[in-house]
Amino acid sequence: MNDRDLIEAALFVAGRPLTLLELESIASIDADVEDLVESLVAEYREKGPLEIVQTDEDVVMQVKGEYADAVRTIAQRDLETPVLRTLAVIAFHQPVTQSKVAEIRGNKAYGHVHELEARKLVESEPYGRTRLLRTTKAFADYFGFETDSLEEIKQRIGLLLR
Amino acid sequence: MNDRDLIEAALFVAGRPLTLLELESIASIDADVEDLVESLVAEYREKGPLEIVQTDEDVVMQVKGEYADAVRTIAQRDLETPVLRTLAVIAFHQPVTQSKVAEIRGNKAYGHVHELEARKLVESEPYGRTRLLRTTKAFADYFGFETDSLEEIKQRIGLLLR
Amino acid sequence: MTSGESPDTAANGAAPEDFDERSIDILVSLAKNGEIDPWDIDIVDVTDKFLARVAELEKLDLRVSSRTLLFASILLRMKSDILEESEPEDVDEEEPVEDDLQACFPALSPKVRRHAKRRVSLSELIQELKKATKRKERSDVRRFVQLQAQEFDALAVAHSEDIERQVKRVKRELKRRFAVRDQVLFSELIVDNTVEAIVQTYIPLLFMATRRQIQLEQKELFGDLSIKCKNL
C-alpha cells in the first residue's frame, strides 16, 4: 500500500475536491504529497477519460471535459435544479445581498445559499443586516470558467442569456 | 472519444453498479460492451488502487479491498451526522414515541424522523397523539444485524455501548 | 393540616397554592380538558395556554405565586428557544421570479464528478448514540442546576430560619436512611400525604440539592423523585 495509491484512492472515493492537508492526513508522514499529486495529474492527463486537477490548495478527480456530456445522465445529480437556479442568480447579479437573492428566489434561497457555501461554490461576508454573496474560485473551476473574475463571469453568463 | 473510455467514465461517475444494459445505452451501437468491460477489468487489476468488478449483470468501479479502510473516512456518509444520531437514539430506545425522541434530540428530530422514514430505515404508527417509532428490516440489513428483532437489536447496541 | 412542623408554614401564610400546586393544577387541568397532550407537549402551545390561564386567575383576583411565575418564565424561555430554532417559514411555496437566466443556467454544464456516498458502519452508529446520550445528560444537568438556582432566588423571600429548621429535619431523616442504602425515594419521606407535608419536605430537598449535599433525579414527569447522597 503506497502513498501514491492511497492518494489516488482518496480522490476517487471523495467525489469532491480535497485539500492537500486532507491528503497529507491519509498519506504516511514522510510522503511528499504535492509531488505525488503532480505525478498523478500527469499520468491521468496522458490517457483515459478521467483527469486529476489541482487548483491552489485543492485537488479533484473528475471526468475530462470531452466525456462529460456523454455520461452526465449516468452521474447522480449533483446540485438539485432549485439550488442550481439560486446559484445562477447569485452568479449573474454578484456581488449581491442574500436578501436580494431571497427576493428573487423566495425564502428557500436561504437553505440553498447554506448548501452552496458548504460546497464552497459561494462565499459571503456580513453586509449591514444581511450578507453579501459572490462566487468562488471553486465555482469557476466547477463550471469551467478560465477566470474567476466576477466581471468576466457575469459577462459570459450575459452572453449565454441571449 | 472511444467506447472503452466512455464505459470507464460512466463507471466512474455512477458511484454504483451499472448493468450491461445501461453501459450499452451510452456506448455506440456496434460496441461489444462485454469485451470492453473485460479488458477494463484486466487493466485495473494490473495496477493502481481501483478495481472494476463484474458480477452477473452488474459492473462496478470501486477501491480495492486493501485500500478501502484507509480512505473510508474521506468518503461522504449517506446519512448526515445529526440524522444518524437521531437514528441511533431510536434504535436504542425503540419502540419509542416521536415526542420522547424529540425530547432527547431536540425539535430538529421531527425532520430527521421524516428523512429516516423516507429512507425506510424507520417506520411509525399512530400512538395516542404522537407516533411510535421502530427500526425496519432495511435498518437491520443496512447495519448488518442478522436479526430484525427489536429486542435483539437493542441488546446488541447495549453491549456495544459498554 | 399536619401537626409538628406545619404551624410555621401556616403562620407564614404559605398556602399550598403559593408553591407549585397551582402551576401543576393549571397544567393538569389543561391536560384533562384535552387542551394539551401530556405525552406530546407542544411547548409553544402550552406556554400560550398556561399564560392565558395565569391571566385569567389574576383577573379573578386569585393570588399568583412566585412559583407559578417561575413556571411561566421557564415555559417562555423554552418557547423562545424553540421559536429561535425553527426555520423561517416559507411564505411563498412557489418560486416567485422565473426568468431566462434561471432556465438557461444548467447550460453552463458543471464538471462531472463522482458522487457516491458510503454507508455508515454500526460502530459509527454506536459512536453517535454515545454522543447523543452525553449531550442529553449534559443539558439535563444544566437545566436542573439552572432550575435550582432559580428556585433558590424565588424562595429567597421565604423565612430563612424556618427553612433551615426544615432542612435540618429532612437531613436527619435522610441520614438515617442513607446509613443503610444509597438511594431514597421522595415518597418515603412523606409521612402523611398532605400538601403541607409534601411542600415542607420538597423545599428543603431543593435547598440541599443546591448546596450539592444530595442529588435529585426525576425519571418521568410527575414521577417520584429519587434522592442520592452526595455530601451530607
Specify the DSSP class assigned to residue B73.
G
What percent of chain C has a predicted confidence (pLDDT) above 90?
A: 1
Distance CA A28, CA A31 (A): 6
Cβ-based contacts of A81 with chain C (< 8 Å) = 106
B84-98, B129-143, C114-128, C155-169: the lowest-pLDDT one: C155-169
Are the Cβ atoms of C125 and B143 closer than 8 angstroms? yes
Q: What percent of chain A has pLDDT over 90?
A: 46
CA distances to B84, B87, C52, C63, C232 from B138, in Å? 15, 13, 47, 57, 52
Choose the closest CB to A75 out of B13, B67, B72.
B13
Of C113, C119, C131, the CB nearest to B142: C119
Higher pLDDT, B20 or C136: B20
Contact yes or no for A85 and C102 at CB 8 A = yes
Average pLDDT value for chain A = 89
**Does residue A45 sit at the B interface (CB-CB below 8 Å)?**
no
Higher pLDDT, residue A72 or A4: A4
Please tell me the distance in Å from A124's CA to the nearest CA on chain C: 20
- Smallest Cβ–Cβ distance between A50 and the set B12, B15, B75 belongs to B12
- Spell out which residues of chain B touch residue C119, defining contact as CB-CB under 8 Å: 77-78, 142
Point out which residues pair with A50 in neighbouring strands: A63
Mean pLDDT of the B75-88 span: 90
Cell numbers standing for residue C74: 421557564
Greater model confidence, B101 or C84 = B101
Conformational region of residue C225, where left means phi above 0, alpha means psi within -120 to 50, and beta covers everything else: beta
* Interface with A, mutate which of B3, B11, B12 (most A CBs under 10 A): B12
The pLDDT value given to residue B123: 96
Q: What pLDDT score does C99 carry?
A: 56
Contact: C95, A72; criterion CB under 8 Å:
no
pLDDT tens by residue, A58-71: 899 999 989 988 89
Nearest to A125 by CA among A87, A94, A97: A97
User: Looking at A34-38, B2-6, C101-105, which range is the least confident one?
Assistant: C101-105
Q: Place B43 in a pLDDT band, splitting at 50, 70 and 90.
A: very high
B16 interaction partners in chain C (CB closer than 8 Å): 116
Q: Using an 8 Å CB-CB cutoff, list chain A residues near B74.
A: 10, 13-14, 18, 22, 26
Q: Is the pLDDT higher at A103 or at A157?
A: A103
> Could you give the 3-state DSSP secondary structure of residue B41?
helix
- The DSSP H or E segment spanning C149 is helix C122-155
Task: Choose, out of C79, C126, C218, the residue to mutate when testing the contact with B (most B CBs < 10 Å).
Answer: C126
Distance (Å, whole) CA C139 – CA C145: 10
Angle at Cα A8 formed by Cα A4 and Cα A13, nearest 5°? 145
pTM for the full predicted model: 0.55
Name the helix (H) or strand (E) containing B123.
strand B122-127
Residues 6+ apart with CB under 8 A from A59: A11, A17, A18, A19, A20, A23, A37, A52, A53
Minimum-distance CB partner of A71 among B10, B48, B63? B10
Question: What span, in angstroms and rounded, lies between the C-alpha atoms of B59 and A76?
Answer: 17
The pLDDT tens digits for B94-118 are 999 999 999 999 888 988 999 899 8
Residue C135, pLDDT > 80, answer: no
At residue C96 the predicted structure's pLDDT band, cuts being 50, 70 and 90, is: very low
Tell me the nearest-neighbour CA distance from B84 into chain C, angstroms.
7
The percent of residues in chain B predicted with pLDDT above 90, rounded, is 62
Residue C111: closest CA among chain A residues belongs to which residue?
A: A142
In angstroms, how far is the first alpha carbon of chain C from the final one?
29
Q: Among A102-106, A135-139, B43-47, C157-161, which range has the highest average pLDDT?
A: B43-47
Supply the DSSP symbol for B84.
Answer: H
